[in-house]
Amino acid sequence: MKIVILDTPEQVASYGADRFADQLRHKPGSILGLATGSTPIALYEELISRVQRGVLSFALASTFNLDEYLGLESTHPQSYRYFMNEHLFRHLDIDLANTAVPDGAARDPMVACEAYEHAIQQAGGIDLQLLGIGRNGHIGFNEPSSSLASRTRVKTLTPDTVKANQRFFDEGEFQPHLSLTMGIGTIMEARHILLLATGESKAMAVRATVEGPLAARCPASILQMHPSATLVLDRAAASQLDDVAFYQYIEQENQRLPGSR
């Protein structure tokens, strides 16, 4: 794992945007895996700004989102499809037909999950997968105890995750407790993984991911097994790590190498 520790959330967003820009420069028709939550919003704003300044293009790219609430129509303001349209897609030069989010309103969710896996494979697999992390170490909606080999499927959210995401729903509004999510096995097949974490509330999950044992208890710890996973953290999210000085030393050394990012 490559651990990058930056001073501020803005620097995390900008580092992430550089990584996306590198990917699209190298392969304009990249298959990108995208995430929701508050963490990627600053990164998305930076990507939008670059597209609008004409220095970046998603015209040939395709995207697959990690997850969706089961039981919300795509037009529901709390659905992840709606979130992606509003926070990213409608501001980019991407063809909306080339953006995929699991179908939260599917008649048969199991069939929809299988079709989603198939579509990712048909597209040639994900080149760069963006991840956030839940406070309990979940990735996508793969909660603790998820099989580390799981594929896209229906998952129950933990009460803690439901509570953490309650802030987006109005009081008394229906909030799903089920989701459709790429599995951990699906995520692990991405060629490169970029996980962003900011803020102190993520510090324990980051510690378990980086320095804890590989365990279904912390789904993100599977990234220890990925050949190209980068964790970009602000100081607060890195605050519970034991070996900060070592990670910074490695990064400094890496900076000296050409094409290091």
We find the least distance from the C-beta atom of residue 41 to ligand GLP, in angstroms, to be: 8
Question: Of the two residues 170 and 253, which places its CB atom closer to ligand GLP in the complex?
Answer: 170
Question: Of the two residues 48 and 187, which places its CB atom closer to ligand GLP in the complex?
Answer: 187
Question: Of the two residues 11 and 57, which places its CB atom closer to ligand GLP in the complex?
Answer: 11
* Residue type, position 181, single letter: T
We find the least distance from the C-beta atom of residue 39 to ligand GLP, in angstroms, to be: 3
Percent of residues in the chain assigned helix, strand, coil, to nearest 5: 40, 20, 45
We find the least distance from the C-beta atom of residue 167 to ligand GLP, in angstroms, to be: 9
Cβ atoms within 10 Å, residue 22: 14
The closest of 208, 225, 222, 229 to 148, measured between CA atoms, is: 222
Active site residue 136: yes
The residue to which tokens 């939008």 are assigned: 48
We find the least distance from the C-beta atom of residue 130 to ligand GLP, in angstroms, to be: 9
Active site residue 143: yes
Binding site for ligand GLP (CB under 6 A): 35-39, 66-67, 132-134, 140-141, 161, 165
Q: How far apart are CA 101 and CA 99, in angstroms?
A: 7
Q: Which of 76, 138, 192, 226 is catalytic?
A: 138
The closest of 197, 179, 193, 146 to 13, measured between CA atoms, is: 197
Q: Which of 65, 98, 136, 165 is catalytic?
A: 136
Active site residue 165: no
Interhelix angle 41-52/9-26, rounded to 10 degrees, is 50
**Residues classed as catalytic:** 67, 136, 138, 143
